[in-house]
Structure 1
Amino acid sequence: MTASLIAACVWALTANLIAMFPSRRQHWPAAWGLIAVGIPIVGWVTWQSGPLIGLVVLAAGMSVLRWPVRYLVRWVRDLGRPGGA
């Protein structure tokens, strides 16, 4: 297993541990931190292991951070509407 895949596994384990603890702010600060660390890890995995494995790691990260992804999709969809954003 490459170092990038080990980093991706550690990221996923950390994300799941963070999700277990209660939070007053619904985990948004942790989500921003996970996004900031996760994007370079996905790029590193893609560079070391190829685009297919990179897409698998991206999909795994998106499944963990599904609420930020939903808000992003909603925001992009609203940009296409007249008078949006």
Structure 2
Amino acid sequence: MSALLSPLVALAIWALATMALAPLPIRYQILPGLALLLALPVILIWVGRSYGPWPVLVGCVAAVSLFRKPLGALWRRLTRGIRKG
């Protein structure tokens, strides 16, 4: 297997992209952060098919850690809508 086609290389590039995004002002983080968040399940499924469930679990924990504040804001927004309705 070519090193460029490795799911772990894709996951490492994803992690570097999130770290490059972090120092930007929040208004510049939203759209690229959403793209990275949407790309993550695809990469994690690829990793899971190649290496099993444990690396996927580690990737999920890392993703929740990286996106804890945006995911928390999304959760509050969703639960606020449910409480009002």
Q: TM-score over 0.5 for the alignment?
A: yes
What letter is aligned with 1:8? L
- Could you say which structure has the higher helix fraction? 2
Number of aligned pairs? 82
Gaps of 5+ in 2: none
Counterpart for residue 63 of structure 1: 65
TM-score by length of 1: 0.75
**How well do the aligned residues superpose, as a CA RMSD in angstroms?**
2.4
Whole-angstrom CA distance in 1 between matches of 2:64 and 2:76: 15
Give every structure 1 segment of 4 or more consecutive aligned residues whose post-TM-superposition deviation is greater than 2 Å: 71-81
Whole-angstrom CA distance in 2 between matches of 1:76 and 1:49: 34
Greater relative contact order (Cα < 8 A, sep 6+): 1
Percent of matched pairs sharing the same residue: 28
2:9 is aligned with 1:6 = yes
Gaps of 5+ in 1: none
Whole-angstrom CA distance in 2 between matches of 1:72 and 1:24: 15
Whole-angstrom CA distance in 1 between matches of 2:69 and 2:32: 12
Pick which of 65-74 and 29-38 moved more.
65-74
**1:1-85 equivalent positions in 2, closer than 5 A:** 3-20=6-23, 22-23=24-25, 25=27, 27-75=29-77, 77-78=79-80, 81=83, 83-84=84-85
8 Å contact from structure 1 (residues 15, 34) kept in 2: yes
Deviations 1:25-53 (A, max 9, x none): 16111211111211201111111111111
